[in-house]
Structure 1
Amino acid sequence: MTDLLARHRAVLPSWMPLYYAEPIEIVSGSGRRVTDAAGRIYLDFFGGVLTTMVGYDVPEVREAVERQLRSGVAHTSTLYLIRQQVELAEKIARVSGIPDARVFFTNSGTEANEAALLVATNYRRSNQVLAVRNSYHGRSYAAMGVTGNRGWSASTLNPLNVSYLHSGDRLRGLFRHLSDADHIEAAAEDLREVLATQTAGEVACLIAEPIQGVGGFVHAPDGLFAALHKVLDERGILFISDEVQTGWGRTGDHFWGYQAHGVTPDLLTFAKGIGNGFALAGVVGRAEVLDSVEAVSFSTFGGNPISTAAGNAVLDYVLEHDLQANARRVGAILRDGLRAAAGRYPIVAEVRGRGLMLAVEFVRPGTVEPDPAVTTRVFEECRARGLLVGKGGLYGNAVRMGPPLTLTEDEAREGLEILVASIATVSAGEAVACGVSA
């Protein structure tokens, strides 16, 4: 492993992070568990950043891909008809909730958001865009340009004119002291003021995540997007729902994150879980909007036969096994267990999220001052005990969990036990360091 790490550092850029003080190589997986090169088995609560959505080595997905490979056609380019692509587009259009929908496939969430921004700015003939503080939408120039998180904005160069709205942060956000109803009203008024003071002429769109992924699974009160949409509608401004992390039933209560708000977006972007590890993403929207791009545009690899074979099998599996309901039921075990334990540990500020999209935020006891060092210790302790989780948040002080939607109740309890034990161990260590009782 030391040799592989040295080789990695010799040929890959320094700004590509590796998890853990001693990085691991995952060499095999089954269900919700993976094995590293040293033979250590882990329960995976992060799923390749919420991507291995139905688990590892799923026969239905493997067989669908193998059938396509056996045909001898791994790629034809989207300049030809691709049956798997058409079939998947039909399914996605049907479940999207968007009337008269069209689908454009890409390789990643970044590309999907880039395509949505291309469509919206063409449709509205404007490069003015509204985004949200603490957001993350990708690493290309336009997607990075609408990202409201300094730690992920690697460049100030931006083809768009962007104005930012307040986030749903309940710990430090400017609306943190407000009730849900007052928060929604204040956010709508903030939108009106931003439009009146920071924009000129037509505005293309608002792009927002129903739950902010990299932002640490922060989310606003249900119904917020509906209130914002009323203001947008008055001016013909489009709404893009970035569902790269929140789609496919992960939030448990809904198939799409936007559905918690009682509003239908003009454009919806998706990625990650639909490919279950194969590169697959895209944007779905109303035909009138998606067809507004006047120049020729296509994606060489987007929606290729292999990835869409996987995507068809994944979506069928999600629907046939009602994984949305499983996310709601199993996610509640984790959420309720973590919240019940959180009060015992002053390093925990908040447990938040929905379904199988959960986060724990860590702070210095008695404050809301972020503590990324404690977060890292909890993160490492989980790994030492056999559980893989993620990190995130604006200040790097949130442990994120996005397990496969196939997670069982027993596995949820197993992971919960490890999480609570890890938090307890780190909390006790902090108390000793500070000279107080744990």
Structure 2
Amino acid sequence: MSIEREVQQQPGVAPDQPITQGGPTLPQERRLVTEIPGPKSREMFARKRSAVPPGIGTTLPVFVTHAGGGVLVDADGNSLIDFGSGIAVTTVGNAAPRVVERVRKQVADFTHTCFMVTPYESYVEVCERLNALTPGDHEKRSFLVNSGAEAVENAVKVARHATGRQAVVVFDHGYHGRTLLTMTLTAKNMPYKHGFGPYAPEVYRMPMAYPFRWPTGPENCAEEAAAQAIDAIDKQIGARNVAAIVIEPIQGEGGFIEPARGFLPALLAYAKANGIVFIADEVQTGFARTGRMFACEDEGVVPDVICTAKGIAGGLPLAAVTGRAELLDAVHVGGLGGTYGGNPLACEAALAVLDTIEADGLVERARQIGSVMLPRLHALAERFDIIGDVRGRGAMIAIELVVPGSKEPDAAITGEIVRRCHAEGLVVLTAGTYGNVLRFLPPLSIPDTLLEEGLSILEKAIASV
């Protein structure tokens, strides 16, 4: 059944006002002309089922034809508010003008040579800029790969090679990828690990400083969690056997868990004292998403190695490993690399993303988005006791949903709220070990009017359940 909905006039933004970022000129408005998904998307989804295995899941089965600013336009002409950014990928906006311009020029020059065969300048420039931008004033090296998982896996390779040790320490609720090693590093069984074992050896999991769920309360979380993790490393592994500690400064798939303040610095101090490589997985948190260029800067944490991807190239596949020169230089020639790593189109896109973040003040824009979203979400938490926790920084924010009067996760009500948001044209994502977290990752190009409208849709959905 087809339905029609009127979109209310947004204060200060005409419905047909074009955006300054995005490929085609897209009005920054929510507009629903069919049910969600509409008939054309349903037809395409039927094609997907017959061509693509079901293991490739779909959050919202609308097929997108255009995107930009804060909207996604589907095959049926519906314009949806985007609170997902392709899982933190299109941070600077979809089809951002500088990205489009540089990629168009590069694709006409050449699309590939393989940097390991005949190099090109854009790869080197991306590495130079990462070396300068990432935390710390020590000498650094960077190399480029294709995905966040590949970056994390290579970071572990570097740490093992440089230290001559094998053990890797990770944390509860962490997510690091879907390859054999990074799947092993990941904490959550379903859907990431179930049935895919055996897993890689010499990986050890420690407690995470999860303030909302820490048994003795958030005020004790950092000190007790760090003490427990360090004690377990000493007793169960031995510090001299640990090559690397790998941690997300804010956990992504685990539910946007902000470690209690003091936890990351305590782990870093322990790593430094014991010759352990400290690896920050900033795949989801990097490139202005949290209101800083990198999330670890919030507590002045300077990792030995930092892994980046997602928001690095405006939607093109690219990832990077950046670290202390003495660590990366220790690897023998040919020990790092890959055929597509640092593809010239993706490198040009990355340079455009970095230019856009600087020129458009997107680090500050992320903070502004947080200042709009967090007060409204805290107000909702005061009204609705299904919201157990509100957390996050910048434009990386989440709410955790629970059974009222408890901290028992409520995945069912989370799923129902998501369905109601989707039906009203708001793209939201779930996360969390227990499937009970709504995470919000709006593009930094989203206008405040859409941000406010999306929050109103969310409020209506929560009230309705």
| TM-score, normalised with respect to structure 2 | 0.87
Match of 2:112 in 1: 75
CA distance in 1, matches of 2:251, 2:349: 26
CA distance in 1, matches of 2:161, 2:400: 39
AA in 1 matched with 2:403? R
- Picking from 257, 260, 265, the partner of 1:218 is 257
CA distance in 1, matches of 2:303, 2:440: 26
In the TM superposition, residue 243 of structure 1 has moved relative to its aligned partner by: 0.3
Give a deviation string over 1:197-226, Cα, whole Å, max 9, x none. Answer: 210442101000011100110111223211
Equivalence map 1:188-267=2 (5 Å): 188-200=226-238, 201-252=240-291, 254-267=292-305
AA in 2 matched with 1:150? N
Give a deviation string over 1:333-367, Cα, whole Å, max 9, x none. Answer: 10111111212112211111111001111112112
- Picking from 209, 215, 235, the partner of 1:168 is 209
Change (3 A) 1:118 1:399: same
- Picking from 335, 342, 351, the partner of 1:303 is 342
Q: Are positions 1:35 and 2:73 aligned together? A: yes
Q: Are positions 1:355 and 2:382 aligned together? A: no
Match of 2:179 in 1: 140
In the TM superposition, residue 322 of structure 1 has moved relative to its aligned partner by: 1.5
In the TM superposition, residue 285 of structure 1 has moved relative to its aligned partner by: 0.3
Give a deviation string over 1:174-204, Cα, whole Å, max 9, x none. Answer: 4x5141xx32221232132112221044210
AA in 2 matched with 1:412? L
| TM-score, normalised with respect to structure 1 | 0.92
AA in 2 matched with 1:10? S
Contact 1:33 1:43 survives alignment (8 Å): yes
Contact 2:96 2:314 survives alignment (8 Å): no
Change (3 A) 1:419 1:2: closer
CA distance in 2, matches of 1:232, 1:169: 20
Equivalence map 1:352-391=2 (5 Å): 352-391=391-430
SS at match of 2:389: strand
* Long gaps (5+) in structure 2: 1-40
CA distance in 2, matches of 1:331, 1:407: 12
CA distance in 2, matches of 1:136, 1:59: 32
AA in 2 matched with 1:165? M
- Picking from 170, 184, 201, the partner of 1:131 is 170
Contact 1:129 1:160 survives alignment (8 Å): no
Contact 1:330 1:408 survives alignment (8 Å): no
Match of 1:422 in 2: 461
AA in 2 matched with 1:142? L
- Picking from 112, 116, 119, the partner of 2:158 is 119
AA in 1 matched with 2:271? L
CA distance in 2, matches of 1:260, 1:190: 23
CA distance in 2, matches of 1:82, 1:304: 10
In the TM superposition, residue 59 of structure 1 has moved relative to its aligned partner by: 1.5
CA distance in 2, matches of 1:183, 1:422: 33
CA distance in 2, matches of 1:371, 1:187: 25
Contact 1:339 1:351 survives alignment (8 Å): yes
Match of 1:153 in 2: 193
AA in 2 matched with 1:420? E
Contact 1:166 1:173 survives alignment (8 Å): no
State, as a whole percentage, how many aligned pairs show the same letter.
Answer: 36
CA distance in 1, matches of 2:211, 2:223: 15
Contact 1:223 1:262 survives alignment (8 Å): no
Give a deviation string over 1:280-330, Cα, whole Å, max 9, x none. Answer: 111100111112222513121111110001110011100111101110012
CA RMSD after TM alignment: 1.5
In the TM superposition, residue 68 of structure 1 has moved relative to its aligned partner by: 0.5
AA in 2 matched with 1:340? A
AA in 1 matched with 2:206? L
CA distance in 2, matches of 1:173, 1:24: 39
In the TM superposition, residue 262 of structure 1 has moved relative to its aligned partner by: 2.1
SS at match of 2:320: strand
Contact 1:222 1:260 survives alignment (8 Å): no
CA distance in 2, matches of 1:14, 1:159: 26
- Picking from 336, 348, 351, the partner of 2:375 is 336
SS at match of 1:343: helix
Q: Are positions 1:284 and 2:325 aligned together? A: no
User: What count of residue pairs does the alignment treat as equivalent?
Assistant: 419
Match of 2:434 in 1: 395
Equivalence map 1:102-117=2 (5 Å): 102-117=141-156
Q: Are positions 1:96 and 2:134 aligned together? A: yes
In the TM superposition, residue 5 of structure 1 has moved relative to its aligned partner by: 1.8
CA distance in 2, matches of 1:374, 1:195: 38
Contact 2:210 2:260 survives alignment (8 Å): no
In the TM superposition, residue 261 of structure 1 has moved relative to its aligned partner by: 2.3
SS at match of 1:204: strand
